[in-house]
Amino acid sequence: MSTATNTARRPRDTGRPTLPARLRRAVLTVHVISSVGLLGEVWVLVVLTTVAARDGDTEFARTAYRLLSVLVFAGGIPLSLTALATGLVLALGTRWGLLRYVWVFAKLVALVGVIAIGAALFAPEELAVADGLTASRQWGQTAAVTAQAVLLVTATVLSVHKPRWRLLPRHRDRPSGSRQGGATTRSTEP
Ligand code: HEM
């Protein structure tokens, strides 16, 4: 049996099957591209909403909000849904689990927060055609996307550092004394 096959069938210390190594790498690649791409897109929203609110030129602001609306539909929505779907597959398909570690669950909460803020508070298409384009309304949009950026930066930091704080106590999700590890994942998996 090849090494790749061995690592694909890692010890099942939770009793659940885990993703084969190649599939896990492929999903992880899509996850990193979509989630960090989402952070880049949100940063563009922060910059453009700030410029639109500061500029004082209503026509310029309306054009910016029209552009932002396109960015949200072509970038933000598909990227956030892809990051969510791949994140769930990685959490449930590896020994990280969804509820075992604080960092995984916190990222789920962060991404749901980003999506909720976008759905409830960010409405560039409305501002593009609004009669009264007040400063407070415009700065409100900047505040909403800045909150999204903070959540995504936090999620990225958590992903890189993976603090070992547990959400579930060890005995709840794994037989006591079971060994961990897998040749390709020992340094990054719990
Ligand atoms: C909020 C936006 C998110 C960002 C910016 C983000 C970013 C990342 C990054 C950069 C990695 C690679 C870390 C590494 O390999 O060292 C990663 C891995 C991971 N992410 Fe996310 N993520 C996000 C959302 C989520 C969500 C919502 C979940 C779960 C529901 C999740 C679960 C995971 C898991 C389990 C891994 C480890 C995969 C593995 O090692 O096989 N992520 N994430």
Residue-wise pLDDT tens digits, 42-56: 999 999 999 999 998
Ligand 1 pocket residue status of 150, Cβ below 6 Å: no
Range with lowest mean pLDDT among 11-20, 62-71, 93-102:
11-20
Is the model's pLDDT at 40 over the cut of 60?
yes
Ligand 1 pocket residue status of 32, Cβ below 6 Å: yes
Q: What was the pLDDT predicted at 151?
A: 98
Q: What was the pLDDT predicted at 13?
A: 60
DSSP 76: I
**For the CA of 188, the nearest atom of ligand 1:** 40
Whole-angstrom distance, CA of residue 90 vs CA of residue 105 = 12
Ligand 1 centroid from CA 71, angstroms:
23
Whole-angstrom distance, CA of residue 137 vs CA of residue 134 = 5
Q: What was the pLDDT predicted at 99?
A: 95
What's the full length of the chain, in residues?
190
Q: Which residue in the block uniquely carries the two structure tokens 């910016």?
A: 64
Smallest CA separation from ligand 1 atom 41, residue: 90
Where helices occur in the chain by DSSP H, the ranges are 3-8, 21-55, 58-71, 77-93, 102-121, 124-129, 135-161, 170-173
Ligand 1 pocket residue status of 24, Cβ below 6 Å: yes
Ligand 1 pocket residue status of 35, Cβ below 6 Å: yes
Please state the rounded mean pLDDT for residues 91-109: 97
Q: What was the pLDDT predicted at 130?
A: 86
**Do the beta carbons of residue 97 and residue 104 sit within 8 Å?**
yes
Ligand 1 pocket test, pick from 159, 164, 187 with the greatest ligand atom count within 8 Å of Cβ, gives: 159
User: Binning pLDDT at 50, 70 and 90, where does residue 111 land?
Assistant: very high
Smallest CA separation from ligand 1 atom 25, residue: 87
Ligand 1 pocket residue status of 44, Cβ below 6 Å: no
Q: What was the pLDDT predicted at 174?
A: 58
